[in-house]
Amino acid sequence: MEDFRYYTPTRYIFGRSAQHNVGKLSSELLGSKVLLVYGQGSAKKSGLLDQVENSLKEYGIKFFEFGGIKPNPADGPVRLGIDLCKAEGITGILAVGGGSVIDTAKAIATGVMYDGDFWDFYCGKAVPQRALPIGVVLTIPAAGSEGSGNSVITKEEGLVKVSIRTEYVLRPLFAIMNPELTYSLPPYQTACGIVDMMAHILERYFTPSKGTEVSDGISEGLLKAIIKEAPLVLKHPDNYDARANIMWAGTLAHNGICGCGKIEDWASHGLEHEISALYDVAHGAGLAVILLAYMRFMLKHKPERIVMFANHVLDVHGEDEIEIGEEGIDKLERFFKSIGMPTTFKELGIENPDIDLLVKKVHQNKGEVFGAYYPITSQVSREIYIKALKGN
Amino acid sequence: MEDFRYYTPTRYIFGRSAQHNVGKLSSELLGSKVLLVYGQGSAKKSGLLDQVENSLKEYGIKFFEFGGIKPNPADGPVRLGIDLCKAEGITGILAVGGGSVIDTAKAIATGVMYDGDFWDFYCGKAVPQRALPIGVVLTIPAAGSEGSGNSVITKEEGLVKVSIRTEYVLRPLFAIMNPELTYSLPPYQTACGIVDMMAHILERYFTPSKGTEVSDGISEGLLKAIIKEAPLVLKHPDNYDARANIMWAGTLAHNGICGCGKIEDWASHGLEHEISALYDVAHGAGLAVILLAYMRFMLKHKPERIVMFANHVLDVHGEDEIEIGEEGIDKLERFFKSIGMPTTFKELGIENPDIDLLVKKVHQNKGEVFGAYYPITSQVSREIYIKALKGN
């Protein structure tokens, strides 16, 4: 087991009608002038934004609406938000939405406290040391940003999608999570979220570290719960318990608890980011395709953790390691298909992906070699992208 | 799934030589005058206390030694500690030890901030609202107090052992956890700790709540990891990874992550507390005996979760539910025996337990009916104690 530090000072308020706590929590933790960041209108249409604003008003909190944040959130709105915060003397940021909204809020929160351009944090020129306090009302369980210290922003110029990670500076101080708010999520988006959270767990499960039974056990338990609840939540979008389990799993998948004591991989996310940046596909759908290709490659080159996953999570048993691994990956593929997820580039809607360009971009962004479980050289990333062409 | 709040603002510093961070963390989080609480001398003998004191001195922190805390910690030292804190203007409390030392530190920390007698918190007359900041250097993984908001103190007059629980007021601000510090723990104490952490998970696993797949999955993963690591850690007391997994499992067993969204049971702890209070046996050893008796009773009266445990954690399969449950409990019994734990009153060294008195005391302390999984009336507690006489 590797040495680690783990600090998650996020207050989770989870359950029915939880959003009505937002005024009280904001007045305690965000101060009196709040930037209210949200997405492209669903929170407005559903009436959630009204509920949030009424709750803020009840506690005398002044707020400034900052809506219109799009998926794969861009650097442009972050700069506008930072300017607005500085001009208005904002004391805290409240994100109402999913990963894109929260990640934008985080970038603004730390950008405000920094003299240079906020992109310095994302291109590695600086490390976030401080941020305005952040609160979240979560509407899309997937990215896990409500509990993580991470943020992913895409620089529009050159389509560079970059993820940063802090131990705790960018962790929200509170996350309000009402599973009922996710009843209206369409099936495709729900399924993309499910794959995304599974990937967050698997990126930590695929580790070179030894002696990590506790973190492995937690990861396996979470993965099993997600696989059990996924068909339920798709068949009955208003099944409270199924939505609740998926929502809470999404947080735990990415708040670090699955990675304690491990060197984490993050190769699949690296490989996928280029696909969603170039072809504008949903991150979760891209991950379904890449995860399968990645696991098929690894089964040939470093099978241990692939076989362990098949065995412990998918209950595949047998004599031969490779057969267990193959049956596991096939089972995962069938699971992805059963929840409406693509398993090849073609099913993702990309008939002829430009693999040369994908390989070039991914190594431009991630370096000559990346990944911790197995070194992803340009030859390896090419092989994985090629495997994603044809699937099984 | 039940609505829940979850907030764990403890910084975990986990790994080799972690104790050398204590000065820096204390200066950031405990202030300049620290009460240094420790046990009966093992921290002194091992040299750990010197290391801690040197690290505190390096950061200019004034400290007051407050040692001699015994297992099943008593109210007397708590009152002395509170007086000392008030007299010296203590700013924070550092606990170096295991559950007894940490629980004493917590009782002092909240007692200092209260005008009445601290026991008011334990007898239910008041609720802790504030506490001095608490830090921990953990030496015994078992009680999970390093990450919990709980504290157990025994009132010497009348031998009343009471547990209190706060959402976060009594959670330590930091917990320094170096598995190497546990190499010297004797096998019996190590095994007692293992049973204690398993019980902390099972008290949350035995729930009447439905739709708790995520918390169940995490609990099952943790239990499997503990059962896998236990023989290793007993055979090779200086196996770093095995010690590390047991240590981290002990924290997660009791920091609340296994109970999110659940009504928790705590019947076995209630039943056991009377045994260790009356007969002065180790809490973990008493729990081994009670857990088996409890599960045997429940298998007859409410088998669901007992069968689920046998099936998911101990991999017992079959046609008949009750047979699965029976085989599961037998397997657990064999596991307890294999790590040197007692499984009956007799093996616990209590030839003729006063069952009438145990039943009387437990309902005096816990009320006419307690437990959430199944109502523990005086008839039920009697039956469970009787089952603990003969075992299987």
What pLDDT shows up at residue A231? 98
Q: Mean pLDDT of all residues in chain B?
A: 96
Contact across the interface for A11 and B1, Cβ inside 8 Å: no
Whether the per-residue pLDDT at A391 is higher than 80: the answer is: no
> What percent of chain B has a predicted confidence (pLDDT) above 90?
94
Residues of chain B above pLDDT 70, percent: 100
Q: What is the pLDDT of residues A343-366, one digit of tens each?
A: 999 999 999 999 999 999 999 989
Given a cut of 90, whether residue A336 has pLDDT beyond it is yes
Whether residue A159 has pLDDT greater than 80: no
**B272 pLDDT higher than 70:** yes
Q: What is the CA radius of gyration of chain A?
A: 20
Backbone phi, psi, residue B11, to 5°: -85, 115
The answer to whether B241 faces chain A, any CB pair under 8 Å, is yes
Q: Does B253 touch chain A (CB under 8 A)?
A: no
d(CA A273, CA A283): 7
Convert the pLDDT of each residue in A121-155 to its tens digit.
999 999 999 999 999 999 999 999 999 999 999 99
All residues of chain A having their beta carbon less than 8 Å from the beta carbon of residue B260 are 12, 14, 248
Quick one: pLDDT at residue A161?
83
The residue among A36, A83, A80 whose CA lies nearest residue A57 is: A36
Hey, is the C-beta of A257 within 8 angstroms of any chain B C-beta?
yes
Of chain B residues 26-55, which have a CB less than 8 A from chain A? none
Residue B277: per-residue pLDDT: 83
Q: What is the average pLDDT value for chain A, to the nearest integer?
A: 96
Q: Which of residues 99-118 of A touch B (CB under 8 A)?
A: none
Which residue in chain A is spatially nearest to B2 when comparing CA positions? Answer: A15
Name the band, by pLDDT with cuts 50, 70 and 90, for residue B391. Answer: confident
Q: A129 — contact with chain B (CB < 8 Å)?
A: no
Q: Fill in the amino acid letter for A82.
A: I
Distance between CA atoms of residues A276 and B219, nearest Å: 35
Region of poorest pLDDT, from A156-160, A259-263, B133-137, B181-185: A156-160
Q: Are B5 and A16 within 8 A, CB to CB?
A: no
Run of H or E including B300:
helix B283-301
Instruction: Please give, rounded to a whole number of angstroms, the shortest distance from the CA of A106 to a CA of chain B.
Output: 20
**Testing the interface with B: which of A12, A22, A214 to mutate, by most B Cβ within 10 A?**
A214
Measured in degrees and rounded to the nearest 5, phi and psi for residue A314 equal -100, 5
- Name the residue facing A221 among B18, B221, B241 (closest C-beta): B221
- Express each pLDDT in B63-97 by its tens digit: 999 999 998 899 999 999 999 999 999 999 999 99
pLDDT at B162: 87
Q: Tell me which chain B residues have a C-beta less than 8 angstroms from the C-beta of A243.
A: none
Say if the Cβ atoms of A14 and B6 lie within 8 Å: yes
Tell which A residues from 203 to 232 touch B, by Cβ distance under 8 Å.
210-225, 228-229
Q: Do the Cβ atoms of A16 and B3 come within 8 Å?
A: yes
Closest chain A residue to B250 measured between Cα atoms?
A214
Percent of chain A surpassing pLDDT 70: 100
Q: Do B15 and A9 touch (CB under 8 A)?
A: no
| CB contact (8 A) between residue A245 and residue B12 | no
Write the DSSP symbol of residue A125.
S
- pLDDT value for B392: 67
Q: Measuring CA to CA, which residue among A296, A297, A281, A270 is closest to residue A342?
A: A281
- Closest residue of chain B to A18, computed from CA coordinates: B3
Say which residues have a Cβ less than 8 Å from residue A310's Cβ, sequence separation at least 6.
A316, A324, A325, A327, A328, A329, A331
Pick among A218, A238, A254 to test the B interface (most B CBs inside 10 A): A218
Q: Closest chain A residue to B4 measured between Cα atoms?
A: A14
pLDDT digits (tens, 9 = 90+) for B226-263: 999 999 999 999 999 999 999 999 999 999 999 999 99
**Following DSSP, what letter does each residue of A185-247 receive, concatenated?**
S-HHHHHHHHHHHHHHHHHHHS-S----HHHHHHHHHHHHHHHHHHHHHHH-TT-HHHHHHHH
Q: What is the pLDDT of residue B321?
A: 96
Residue A7 is nearest to which of B12, B16, B248, comparing CB atoms? Answer: B12
pLDDT above 90: percentage of residues in chain A: 94
Q: What is the mean pLDDT of residues A34-43?
A: 95
Is the CB of residue B261 less than 8 Å away from at least one CB of chain A?
A: yes
Helix, strand or coil, per DSSP, at residue B340: coil
Give the residue-averaged pLDDT of A181-203: 97
Please determine, for residue A72, whether its predicted confidence score (pLDDT) is greater than 90.
Answer: no
Q: Which residues pair with A175 in a beta bridge?
A: A12, A136
Q: How many Cβ atoms from other residues are within 10 Å of residue B349's Cβ?
A: 11
Please enumerate in sequence order all residues whose Cβ is within 8 A of that of B308, keeping only pairs 6 or more positions apart, or say none. Answer: B216
pLDDT of residue B103: 98
Yes or no: say if B204 and B215 are a contact pair by the CB < 8 Å rule: yes
Quick one: pLDDT at residue A392? 66
Q: In the predicted model, what is the mean pLDDT of residues B364-377?
A: 96
Question: For B92-143, how does the pLDDT look when each residue is reduced to its tens digit (9 = 90+)?
Answer: 999 999 999 999 999 999 999 999 999 999 999 999 999 999 999 999 999 9
Contacts of A220 in chain B (CB under 8 A): 217, 221
Closest-CA distance, B64 to chain A, in angstroms, reads 28
* Closest chain A residue to the Cα of B247, Cα to Cα: A214
Q: Which two tokens stand for residue A20?
A: 């009505």
B245 touches A: beta carbon within 8 Å: yes
Distance from CA of B197 to the nearest CA of A (A): 13
A1 touches chain B (CB under 8 A): yes
Chain B closest CA to A226's CA: distance in Å?
Answer: 8
Query: CB–CB of B242 and A210 under 8 A?
Result: no
Asked if B12 lies within 8 A of A1 by C-beta distance, the reply is: no
Taking chain B, what is the end-to-end CA distance rounded to the nearest angstrom? 34
pLDDT at A162: 87
Give me the residue label for tokens 């206390």. B49
- Residue A123 to residue A128: CA distance in whole angstroms: 12
- Which of A14, A216, A219 lies closest to B3 in CB terms? A14
What's the whole-number mean pLDDT along residues B327-340?
Answer: 98
- Give dist(CA B18, CA A249) in Å, integer: 30
CA max distance for chain A: 66
Candidate from A11, A241, A244 with C-beta closest to B5: A11
Complex ipTM, two decimals? 0.96
